[in-house]
Amino acid sequence: MSNTQTHHDVDVVVVGAGFAGLAMLRELRDERGMSVRVLEAGDDVGGVWYWNRYPGARCDVDSTDYSYTFSPELDEEWNWSERYATQPEILRYVHHVADRFDLRRDVTTGARVATATWDDDAARWDVTCEDGTTARGRYLVMATGCLSAVKRPQVEGIEDFTGQVLHTADWPREPVDLAGKRVGVIGTGSSGIQVIPRIAPEVEELVVFQRTPAFSVPAHHQVLSDAERAALKLSLPERREMLRNSPTGLSVPVTRRGALDDDDAARERHYEEQWHSAGFGFLLAYNDLLVSHEANRTASDFIRGKIAERVNDPALAEKLSPHTYPYGAKRPCVDTGYYETFNRENVTLVDIAEAPLTRATATTLETTDAAYDLDVIVFATGFDAMTGSLLKPTITGRDGVTLKEHWAGGPLTYLGLMTAGFPNMFIIAGPGSPSLLGNVMVSIEQHVDWVSALLVDSEAAGTPVVEATAEAEAEWVERVNAAAAPTLYMEAASYYLGAEIEGKPRVFMPYAGGLRRYRRECDEVARDGYRGFRRSPEPSTDLQPA
């Protein structure tokens, strides 16, 4: 329920009630005894799983590994029905957690944050929302997610289109009936690759507008039997240990083998085996796929070969095959029947790299080559990733400097957790941390634990004003750049690099050194008395001039 026009004076203001915001709330309130107010733009909790309701939306990390780990009771009572849960099931899980731990009472929904301003004299953050809700807190936690600021490309004339215009990341709450309609989908990233095979059998005609083909491997999705669920539960402690110690947060064994350590036949066998089981983990088939061109080419060629097998028309298979960047340099996709969908009579692929989109009219979407009659246009064009949701509100730190100004050349953080000049503001799983390069649930929980430990330590020491130093920030930014430099990540126009938005600074945003190394680094910083953070007592009001 929305609490418009209300004011909340609390210890901690958290922005966002997705997985990260709810975890932060539970930890700080129930484990650390702090008062917390969560401000959420949506009309309910769930974050990305609240908004992305398009047909076919589901997780592509095993749900068992995409779950909270803080409560053995929760593990015991919750049963995932499928290997990769659907969006409705994930949302049910979030609701269950919110109810089970009585989180909703501290969440204000329908409250999109407009401004957050640091009051240096009082050492408080003042937050205002578009609906009039205000909050004041000693700490501000941005749990806004890396994939939540929706990207809506400008298509000339789109406002004249008389059919329905939808976006996968802002799908209507009410059911959308696509049966018998002529539907155009723009975008072939993870969202497009999920929605396309799902709607193809029900629509009259499906036109897919592809700018860059994706690398996708079979998800191997399956419904879990009772016996499989029971076995998964038994293996939880071991799986969790593996997640915590893995560079990716995935329960995939780390291999020490490089692709060229195997001869051609052995490598082909290994890829074949992985193809039939690994899903997202295919990228970890060898340990050098993201650092060696030669190694990567073996995997890229293997996947292109599979696309050729899955698509009947060789010319179409070629159009669907990526050639302009190495496998994994853009976030890889997993699919269920994606390529086979193009064998259907009612599905057409339009290569808009070759013949770009020009405009929409009342009834068509047009390229330089042709006009396509459509009833519905679906944008599956993704997000202003990583920084979009942080820069949307006006966040003002010390001396009136805004985050937008401080990050004009790209995001600057220390450990991805804080940014200099913005005291007591923390970011969960954002730029400068491993974030989107691994299982984000593992990243979220690591950040939540680490931030709450820092707050408790600072409060106990009487130094509750915490700030990353400019030196520590500069050094960490160097480390983030150095971790990415030798990788093939630098060779794709990806959202990791800010290439998805025109004019966005081209810097590699997530930390590519791996979750395990990152966790170790954070732990060492804490052990060294929070090296790189300046901590000070709150200003005494007695010392303020009259």
Say how many C-beta atoms besides its own lie within 10 A of residue 323's C-beta: 9
Contacting ligand NAP (CB under 6 A), which of 11, 40, 44, 60?
60
Residue type, 203: V
Told to check if 87 binds ligand NAP by CB under 6 A, we report no
Nearer to ligand NAP, 125 or 495 (CB): 495
Told to check if 91 binds ligand NAP by CB under 6 A, we report no
Q: What is the widest separation between alpha-carbon atoms in the chain?
A: 81
Question: Binding to ligand NAP (CB under 6 A): which residues in 435-474?
Answer: 436
Told to check if 59 binds ligand NAP by CB under 6 A, we report yes
Nearer to ligand NAP, 291 or 499 (CB): 499
Query: Whole-number minimum distance, CB 510 to ligand NAP, in Å?
Result: 11
- Distances 76 to 5, 98, 234, 236 between C-alpha atoms, Å: 40, 16, 10, 10
Told to check if 194 binds ligand NAP by CB under 6 A, we report yes
Told to check if 382 binds ligand NAP by CB under 6 A, we report yes
- Distances 374 to 116, 161, 164 between C-alpha atoms, Å: 43, 9, 9
Say how many C-beta atoms besides its own lie within 10 A of residue 156's C-beta: 12
Question: Binding to ligand NAP (CB under 6 A): which residues in 293-332?
Answer: 331
Told to check if 251 binds ligand NAP by CB under 6 A, we report no
Told to check if 186 binds ligand NAP by CB under 6 A, we report yes
Nearer to ligand NAP, 62 or 131 (CB): 62
Nearer to ligand NAP, 18 or 192 (CB): 192
Question: 392: buried, middle or exposed (CB in 10 Å: 19+, 13-18, 0-12)?
Answer: middle
Is the Cα dihedral 458, 463, 465, 468 positive or negative?
negative
| Eight-state DSSP code of residue 435 | G
Residue 184 CA to residue 205 CA, distance in Å, equals: 8
Give me the torsion for CA of 332, 334, 337, 338, rounded to 10°. Answer: -30
Query: Whole-number minimum distance, CB 167 to ligand NAP, in Å?
Result: 9
Cβ contact 390:403 at 8 Å: yes
Told to check if 157 binds ligand NAP by CB under 6 A, we report no
Contacting ligand NAP (CB under 6 A), which of 191, 396, 458, 487?
191
Told to check if 495 binds ligand NAP by CB under 6 A, we report yes
Q: Interface with ligand NAP by CB under 6 A: which range of 291-299, 337-345, 381-389, 479-487? A: 381-389
Query: Whole-number minimum distance, CB 436 to ligand NAP, in Å?
Result: 6
- Collect all residues with Cβ–Cβ distance below 8 Å to 200 and sequence separation of at least 6: 206, 341, 344, 346, 347
Cβ contact 508:92 at 8 Å: no
Told to check if 192 binds ligand NAP by CB under 6 A, we report yes
Contacting ligand NAP (CB under 6 A), which of 133, 251, 341, 381?
381
Q: Tell me which residues touch ligand NAP (CB under 6 A).
A: 58-60, 147, 153, 168, 186-192, 194, 211-212, 331, 352, 380-383, 436, 495, 500
